[in-house]
Structure 1
């Protein structure tokens, strides 16, 4: 399938980019966090992609790194998580924060993602806890305490994105 695209940024929308590769424009849905990293139209861009095939649609989903793409594909293995939900999760949480929340069973952090309820968050923890490479992350990352989850919840309640709330928490 299509594993990677390298070309020029032709356009970008709310949750997608169009990458011109050899005169062909590929529309790729991407996490909103990736949109912030992009340069201007015409700048070079590289995406690691997942081609999602459905009965009536072929859709490309892209990530900035292979690691992020692997995490995206692991999210797709969870019952009830489709590509749009997986993209939403990666838009709201950094890969390390997501892995840490899953490793520590922090359902409260996962439920801060729009569209992810308590049951889905519990299913994410249950299904992915044994599948993710967490050893290095757990060794270097501080524990995400209930107070941290409460701070993230309060900031998202005030209108900040989960990523902004995490950045504010790290700066304390």
Structure 2
């Protein structure tokens, strides 16, 4: 007499289950790598930057000597040469993610300061650079990056190619 066939207690996984397991493994590993290297991948977007100005934007007012001029905010002045003593506020704007400030030192030099809103100033969330007046705003440069600030926009360019553009709103000092 022939012995009846026994079914295995554990069936081999079907092709569908194997495919789903491989997809899950792939997505899990990809998610892990993305989270692990996210800071490195997004470093440029964390750097505050200025924008190009439309033709209808008036030149920003330069704070003149005399009564009514405002001091450069202490959080910005501390990044200026000599601690920013005597520096005056020229412009301050908010973008969705940044606070951008331009101050003028006692030597007449303009300084661009960008900070990710709500963040402590670190090398990944803050930048402070010498700037020049353009007649419609200010430009600061850092290696291949160009930060162009007007009364209405902040534009970041890298090696002549626009990377990002943000609308600006005036901010309180």
Report the TM-score when normalising by structure 1.
0.24
**Per residue, is there more strand in 1 or in 2?**
2
